[in-house]
Chain A
Amino acid sequence: MAKINVVTGRGGAGKSTFTALFARFVDVKRLLLIDLDPDSSLPKMLGADLEKSGKVTISHALYDIIVSGKKDDSPALIEERLKDGSILYESEKFHLITLGTKLAPGCYCLPDEMIKDMIHKLRDNYDMVLVDSPAGLEHLNRKVTPDIDDLFVILDPSEKSVKHIERIKRVIKGVRISYKNFYLVANYRFTEESLNYLEEVGERLLGRIALDENVRNFNLNGRSLFSLPSDSPASLSVKKILLEANYDII
C-alpha cells in the first residue's frame, strides 16, 4: 500500500515546483501524483500535456456528467471514466490525476470527495501517492487525505509563514487528520538570516530550495521541470531535501 505524502503551504511558496522536482528525483517505481489545485500548474511543470493526450480533469468530467443530466449517477460515471483511461495520465515516471478548474457555481466539495475516493481505491496499485495542494487551508478542512505519512510545508520568509504553520496544526487537529512526519521546507527566498527564524518554530526543517534563475525562466515560459539540468541549484537542493527525509533518489 502506497505511502501518502502531501505538499502544502501558502500561495506562491513553491508547492508545485517542489512537487515536480520531488516526482522527478525520488526513486520509487509506482508513483501517483494528485494535483488538487483548481488553479492548476503542476501538469505543465511535469511536461504533461493533458489535452494533447486526451485526458480530462475531475472537474471537467463532472461538468460533462452534470450537463448531460445524469448528476445522480456521478460517482459511478466518474469511476467509469477512470476505468476507460480518460482521467489517469500515464508517463514512464508517474501517473497523474488533476482536479482542474470548475466553471460551475459552488465549492469543490464534490470533486474533492471524488479524488478522496480515487486515492482510497487506487492506493494499492502504487508505492507512493504525492499530493500537490491548493494554496491555503480549506483543502485540509475537507480531509481529502485523512492519514498522511509525510506532510511537507513549503514556506516563504515571512511572519505569515509561522502563523500558517500554527493554523495548519490547528485545522489538522480540529478535523482529525493524522500524520507521521511534519516537515518544513524553506523556499528560494530564504536567506541564512531568515532561516534562523524557522528554528524557533520547533518543527523539523529539511532544508532550503536554492534560488535558481533556470527555474524562474522555465516557469515563465511554461517549460517542464523534467528538463531542468539535474545539476541546477534547485535540482541539487531538492535531492538533498529528499535524502534528509530518508528517501532514495535516482
Chain B
Amino acid sequence: MARKIVVTGRGGSGKSTFVALMSRFLSSPSLLIDLDPDLSLADMLGIDLEREKKKTVIEVLYDVVDERKKGMDPLIPVEEKFKGLVWTEALYEGKGFDLIVLGTKDMEGCYCFPDHLMRKTISELVKTYKNVVVDSPAGLEHLNRNIVSEIDDLIVVIDPSEKSLSHISRVKGIAKEVGIRYVNFHVIGNYMFKDSDEEFFKKEKVPYIGKIDYDSNVEELNLKGKPLKLLPEDSPALISTKEILKKARLI
C-alpha cells in the first residue's frame, strides 16, 4: 500500500512547486495527482499531456457523458464506464513517476462528482505505488469532500502571514469534522519566509519543519512556464526541499 502524501495550503503558497521539487527525490514507482482545476503541476514537471495524448479526468468524464447521450448502453453506469477508461486515457506514465490530473470543468456546477471519481480512482491506484502525492487546489473545500480519508503525511505549505495560522486551524478543524485521519502533520514555510517569520511560527506551536529557500531560478522558470527539472542540482530550492523531506522521513 502506498504512502499517501497530501500537500495543501492557501493559494499561491507554493504547493505545486513543492510537489514538483519533491518528485525528484521520491523512490519509484510514485504517482502524482493534480487535484487543482486551475492546473499547473504538469507544466512544472515539463509534461505536455496533449502531446502525450493524455486526457484530464474531466475530459474522460465528458467523453463518457457524451457517449451516453449518443446511445451508450444505459445499463452501464457512468462510473463503471469511466473506470474502464481512466487508466488508459488519463494516466501518464513517466520515468520515476506517473501523473494524473483532474482538469478544468466548463459546465455549471461544482466538482463533487469529478472529485468523487477521483476518490474512487485514488483508492484503486494506491495499491500499485510506493508513494501517492496529491497536489491540492487552493483553499479548503477539497478537504470537505474527503477525497483522501486516510492520509499518511498531511503537509501544509504556508506563506508568512497571520492568515496562515487561521488556515492551519481550519485544516485541522475540517479534517476532524469530516473524518479525515492523518498519521503525520507537517507545516513548511514557502520562499517568502524570512528567519524572523520562522521564529514567529515556531513560537505558535505549529509542527513546523523548515522552509523552501527562495530561489531566483524557480521564479524565472515559473514566469516563463518552463519545467522545474531544468533546475541545477545545487539550487537552493532543491537543497532545502531535500532537507524537508528528510525531516519528514519521506526519503
Q: Which residues of A contact B241 (CB under 8 A)?
A: none
Chain B residues contacting A181 (CB-CB under 8 Å) are none
Q: Are B37 and A160 in contact (CB under 8 A)?
A: no
A158-182 residues at the B interface, CB under 8 angstroms: 158-160, 162-164, 167, 170-171, 173-176
CB-defined contacts of A68 to chain B, threshold 8 Å: none
Closest beta carbon of chain A to B56's beta carbon, Å: 12
Is B95's beta carbon under 8 Å from chain A?
Answer: no
B13 to chain A minimum Cβ distance, whole angstroms, is 6
SS class of chain B's interface: helix, strand, loop or mixed? loop
Report the minimal beta-carbon distance from A42 to chain B, rounded to whole angstroms: 10
Known contacts A108-B110, A160-B40; decide if A135 and B139 are in contact (CB<8 Å).
yes
By a CB distance below 8 angstroms, the chain A residues around B110 are: 107-109, 138, 141-142
A106–B163 Cα distance when bound, in Å, is: 24
- How far apart sit A101 and B109, CA to CA, in the bound complex (Å)? 20
Interface size on A, residues (CB 8 A): 48
What is the bound-complex CA distance between A105 and B200, given in angstroms? 32
Q: What residue of chain A has the Cβ atom nearest to residue B174's Cβ?
A: A103
- Residues of A near B66 (CB, < 8 A) are none
Q: Is A74 an interface residue (CB 8 A)?
A: no
Q: Are B222 and A101 in contact (CB under 8 A)?
A: no
**8 Å CB contacts to A: which residues of B146-183?**
146, 159-163, 166-167, 170, 173-174, 177-179
A137 touches B104 (CB 8 A): yes
Judged by a CB distance under 8 angstroms, whether B197 is at the interface is yes
User: What is the bound-complex CA distance between A157 and B220, given in angstroms?
Assistant: 10
B213 interface hit (Cβ, 8 Å): no
Q: Which residues of A contact B146 (CB under 8 A)?
A: 105
Q: Within 8 Å CB of B161, what residues of A? A: 219-220
Query: Which residues of B line the A interface, CB within 8 A?
Result: 10-13, 36-38, 40, 43, 104-112, 137-141, 144-146, 159-163, 166-167, 170, 173-174, 177-179, 197, 200, 222-225
Q: What 4 pairs between A and B have smallest CB-CB spacing?
A: A11-B11, A12-B12, A159-B225, A174-B106
